Each structure stands twice: as C-alpha cells, then as structure tokens.
Structure 1
Amino acid sequence: MKVVTVCGMGFGTSLMLLMDVQAIGKKHGYDIQGEAVDLGSAKGKECDFMVASGEIASELDGESVEVVAINNLLDKEEIERKVMPVIERVAKGVK
C-alpha cells in the first residue's frame, strides 16, 4: 500500500512521519511504500491514505483518500493508534 505524508516544506516533518508509518506497518506485518511531500504537491497524489499534522490535514479536506491528522508528531503511540486502523482497512480493501 502507499501512503503520502505531508508537511509544509516536503521534508523534515513529512519524512519523519513517513519513517514512523513505515516502521509501524512493518511491526504489524504490512509493507508500506510512501512519499514525503509538501502541501502543494500532495493534492491529487495517488495513494491509499495520507498522514499529516492536524494543521496541514485540515488543508487536505476534499482529497479522495482518508487523511489521518496527527496532533503530536513526536508521539509514536498516537501515530500508531490513528494509523493502524486505516492500514487495516486499506489492507482489507475497505474504504
């Protein structure tokens, strides 16, 4: 499956989120490919879901995929708690 992680500039925060999401997926037996991008590049990207900070996620309303909003980007438990249900739905083919 493919995730797009989004931040204001397209590196730093989004790259950190991508690595966290991939590690969480691997921990649970899922292979997650991904791309870290800036907000402008994220719109219309082909992916299974997106992950972004709460502020950035609100800018992604209207995307055709689910956008997971993370409040504390340093809280790996929050990321896992919010991302795993989405990964499992995507893996089952449920939107």
Structure 2
Amino acid sequence: MKITVVCGNGLGSSLMMEIMIKKILDAEKIEYEIDHVDLSSVQGTHSDIFIGTRDITTQFSVKSGMVVSLNNVVDQVAMKEKILAAIKQLES
C-alpha cells in the first residue's frame, strides 16, 4: 500500500500527518509505504492513496489512486476512520 501525504510546501503539515498516519497504520498492523510531497509534485506521483487537508485536495486530481480529504490535521479519530475506510475500499 503506497500512501502519499500532500501539503502546500511538502514540509510542515504533511510531515506531521505522515507521523500520525504511521502510528495509525502500525497500530492496525497494516503494511505501507508512505511519503510526503508538495502540491506541485503530486501530479507526477504514483500512489494508492493521497491524503491532504480539504483545501489542498480540492486543488489537485489524480489519474489513479484514491484521495482522502481531512478537515482537521490534528483530529486523529477522523483521520483513522477515513484512512481505514479508504484502505478497506481499495481492498474490496
């Protein structure tokens, strides 16, 4: 499972989200590969799931893969629910 976290500059919020997502997936014992990129690099990135805040995810589209839009980067409960739902959908 390849996951890409996207933010405006590819630094602050995407790195914070990446760390939180790793904790969620490790706790669920889900195998993954994760990286973070800036908004301008997302089009050239291949991934199963792209994750970003709502304001960022409305600024890009992907040819393949699923986009998960988060309302709040510090809401770990909502983050976990949305990511696990996306993984489940991909696996079915």
Do these two structures clear the TM 0.5 threshold for a shared fold by scoring above it? yes
Map 1:6-85; keep pairs closer than 5 Å.
6-85=6-85
Extract unaligned runs of 5+ from structure 2. none
Moved over 4 A (4+): none
Q: Whole-Å Cα distance in 1 between the matches of residues 88 and 15 of structure 2?
A: 22
Q: How many residues align?
A: 92
What SS does the aligned partner of 1:24 have?
helix
Instruction: Find out whether 1:5 has 2:8 as its counterpart.
Output: no
Amino acid at match of 1:74: V
Structure 1 pair 17/63, CA: closer, same or farther in 2 (3 Å)?
farther
What SS does the aligned partner of 1:43 have?
helix
Q: Whole-Å Cα distance in 1 between the matches of residues 64 and 11 of structure 2?
A: 23
Shift of 1:62: 4.3
Identical positions, percent? 28
Q: Whole-Å Cα distance in 2 between the matches of residues 18 and 44 of structure 1?
A: 19
Q: Whole-Å Cα distance in 1 between the matches of residues 62 and 22 of structure 2?
A: 25
Give the aligned CA root-mean-square deviation in angstroms.
Answer: 1.3
Shift of 1:17: 1.1
- TM normalised by structure 1 equals 0.88
